C-alpha cells in the first residue's frame, strides 16, 4: 500500500501531466514546486516511484506516469473530489472550505467506504469546483479547457469550473459575484497585461490575467 506522501506525488504528477495538459511530461523542479518541497527531496521520491514502476523516469529526463501510476493517481483524485462533494452537499461546507479537509480524507484506505460514499452522493460527475469526478472504473468525462482569458471581448460565457482550489482564490471569486454556472460577460481586456473587465449579474469588476486563467468557462 502506498504512503500518503507517495499518493500526493502521484496526484501532483497527474495534475501536471494530464489535467493541466499543456504537456504530458514534467521536470523535477516543477514537481517539487507543486508539492512545496525542494528538488532534492522530489528526486529521492522519483527514484522510489520509478523502482515501484509507477512512473517513467530516467536520470536528467522528464517524468510521466505509467499505467499503474496513473490508476493510483486517479483513485486519489476520485476520493478527493467525492469527499469534497460530500462535505459541500451533506455537511454545509462552503466551496472554499472543502479542499483542505479533502486533502486529509483522500488518504483513507477503504474501498467499501468509497463505493458507499459514491452511492450516497448518487454517483456525482462533478465536485463543488466543477472538476470531473472519475468513476469507479477510473474513467473521466474529460472537460473543456477554455479559460476566461480566452473569451473574446463582448462575448458572454458560463463559469464551469475553477482551476485553483485555494480558499483565498475561491473567496475572491465569490467577492466578484461569481460561482459555478454564473454567466460572465467580457467587457474589455488590456493588451498589455491581460487585465480583464467583466460583468456578472450587472456587477462590473476588473480582474487580473492570473485570475482569468483560473476560471474555466464554456
- Among 65-73, 107-115, 138-146, 195-203, the segment contacting a copy of itself (CB under 8 A): 107-115
- Cα–Cα distance, 75 to 152 (Å, whole number): 37
Q: What are phi and psi of 162, to 5 degrees?
A: -115, 145
Task: Tell whether residue 112 is a contact of a copy of itself (CB under 8 A).
Answer: yes
Locate cell 479533502: which residue?
A: 102
Return the C-alpha torsion angle 171, 173, 176, 182, nearest 10: -130
Select from 216, 170, 179, 169 the least CA-distant residue to 201.
179
Q: Is 123 in the site for a copy of itself (CB under 8 A)?
A: no
Q: Strands, E, within 22-67: which ranges?
A: 55-56, 64-65
CA distance 5 to 52: 14
Question: C-beta of 116: minimal distance to a copy of itself in Å?
Answer: 4
How many residues touch a copy of itself (CB under 8 A)?
18
Query: Residue 170 interacts with a copy of itself (CB under 8 A)?
Result: no
Shortest gap between Cβ of 187 and a copy of itself (angstroms)? 38
| Closer CB to a copy of itself, 76 or 186, in the complex | 76
Q: How many angstroms separate the Cα of 143 from the Cα of each of 30, 91, 134?
A: 24, 27, 12
Nearer to Mn ion, 102 or 207 (CB): 102
Most distant CA pair in the chain, distance: 56
Binding to a copy of itself, residues 18-77 (CB under 8 A)? none
Residue 1 or residue 40: which is nearer to a copy of itself going by CB?
Answer: 1
Note the residues at the interface with DNA (CB under 7 A). Answer: 3-6, 27-30, 36-41, 43-48, 59-62
Q: Please say which residue, 32 or 212, places its beta carbon nearer to DNA.
A: 32
Question: β-strands 183-189, 196-200: how paired?
Answer: antiparallel
- Measured CA to CA, the distance from residue 211 to residue 201 in angstroms comes to 18
Query: Which of Mn ion, DNA, a copy of itself, none interacts with 28 (beta carbon under 5 to 8 A by kind)?
Result: DNA
* Residue 103 interacts with, from a copy of itself, DNA, Mn ion, none (CB under 5-8 Å by kind): Mn ion
Please state the closest distance from residue 49 (CB atom) to DNA, in A.
9
CB atoms within 10 A of CB 117: 20
The contact set with a copy of itself (CB under 8 A) reads 87, 90-93, 97, 100-101, 104-105, 108-110, 112-113, 116-117, 120
Amino acid at each position: 500500500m502506498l504512503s500518503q506522501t507517495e499518493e500526493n506525488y502521484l496526484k501532483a504528477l497527474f495534475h501536471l501531466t494530464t489535467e493541466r495538459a499543456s504537456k504530458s511530461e514534467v521536470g523535477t523542479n516543477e514537481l517539487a514546486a507543486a508539492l512545496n518541497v525542494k528538488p532534492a527531496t522530489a528526486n529521492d521520491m522519483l527514484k522510489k516511484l520509478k523502482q515501484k514502476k509507477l512512473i517513467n523516469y530516467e536520470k536528467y529526463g522528464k517524468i510521466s506516469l505509467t499505467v499503474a501510476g496513473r490508476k493510483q493517481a486517479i483513485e486519489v483524485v476520485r476520493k478527493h473530489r467525492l469527499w469534497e462533494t460530500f462535505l459541500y452537499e451533506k455537511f454545509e461546507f462552503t466551496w472554499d472550505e472543502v479542499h483542505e479537509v479533502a486533502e486529509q480524507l483522500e488518504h483513507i484506505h477503504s474501498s467499501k467506504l468509497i463505493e458507499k460514499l459514491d452511492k450516497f452522493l448518487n454517483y456525482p460527475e462533478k465536485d463543488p469546483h466543477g472538476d470531473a469526478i472519475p468513476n469507479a472504473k477510473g474513467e473521466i468525462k474529460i472537460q473543456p479547457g477554455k479559460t476566461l482569458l480566452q473569451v473574446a471581448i463582448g462575448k458572454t460565457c458560463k463559469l464551469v469550473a475553477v482551476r485553483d482550489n485555494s480558499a483565498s482564490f475561491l473567496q475572491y471569486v465569490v467577492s466578484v459575484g461569481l460561482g459555478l454556472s454564473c454567466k460572465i460577460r467580457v467587457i474589455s481586456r488590456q493588451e498589455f497585461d491581460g487585465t480583464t473587465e467583466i460583468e456578472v449579474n450587472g456587477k462590473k469588476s476588473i480582474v487580473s490575467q492570473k485570475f482569468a486563467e483560473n476560471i474555466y468557462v464554456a
